[in-house]
Chains A and B, each alone.
Chain A
Amino acid sequence: MAAYEYLYLVTYDISDPKRWRRVFKLMKGYGDWLQLSVFQCRLSRKRHAELIALLDGIIHHTEDHVLIINVGPAESVKPQVVSLGKEFEVLERQPVIV
């Protein structure tokens, strides 16, 4: 079966602090915050389309810049990452049990 979800790195440069907050809040709903203006997300085709539509509605095309980088199929990808300082873990999907 074809891969259903992909892992993405999303980075952004937003020139206005108010818009930056909005983008940050939106991104929190779609992925895991890695560091300032960088998120990792697992997205299906539908979520991917949604996220692009929503981001596109917030940013100013002439002043801001968003990059959405596809890292590979979410279930199987093992990104080769050198992580200094903190640990980097690939996002997994699991039920939340508190």
Chain B
Amino acid sequence: MTSGYFTSVDDVSARLAATGYLASPAVATTVFLADRLGKPLLVEGPAGVGKTELAKAVAEVAGATLVRLQCYEGVDESRALYEWNHAKQLLRITAGRDESWDETRTDIFSEEFLLPRPLLTAIRGSDPKVLLIDETDKADVEVEGLLLEVLSDFQVTVPELGTISATRRPFTVLTSNASRELSEALRRRCLFLHIGFPEEELERRIVRLKVPGLDEALAQAVVRVVGALRAMDLRKVPSVAETIDWARTLLALGAGTLDEEVVRDTLGVVLKHQEDVLKAAAKLDLDAV
């Protein structure tokens, strides 16, 4: 079953680019495949390389509603799938005092009293949807079991109502920072995509797109320095989000070129640990002057 949002890999690149998301060939290819094969897409990679942004961009391109399930430790079935609206059920029971028990019982477990949570929302209805399951690795292992049914058949079983199947498969994106190893069964159901740090040229285009006022030469210098920082052995290497932050900072400061003083003063924007700042400063010879 295909969602059919895209016609070719190049189509993916072009239309994502139109929303401001510049996709690498790997990203474009995998998005196209996920769309074609109707399989969920598991996106891994360091923080700040645009995993969540990808889902948002696809939703925008496809004109679909974005349904987001933010995972955290302790997220459970009632947060992810559905809940019964107990208050409303109680009201219903009190309202119909003279009914027989059978009538009441069948009545209070109908769709009217169901509170759909993200996973069920994404499956019901026939309008296009993008389901984003964010930071899947933060959720407990039990939730993965829950996801298995949803992701393989795109259906949810509510004991009182029966099985609800999707009439139109949502385009599904799972993201993970790999802080916990996801189960083999879950990985098997997904196409796998690792978004790493972009190539120098792509990153330069991203910076130019996100920070339009920045001078071309400066953008290039920023990307090169960030590339050099990534090659160092740091506790937290800068990602694209930090590159953009840095570019914005430089623009705000009105820095025309990247020289030692500017780099030394703004290194804190890119690096998040003091020891990293010190190490980078030493490697870049910032103290030599």
Q: Do A and B come from one complex?
A: no
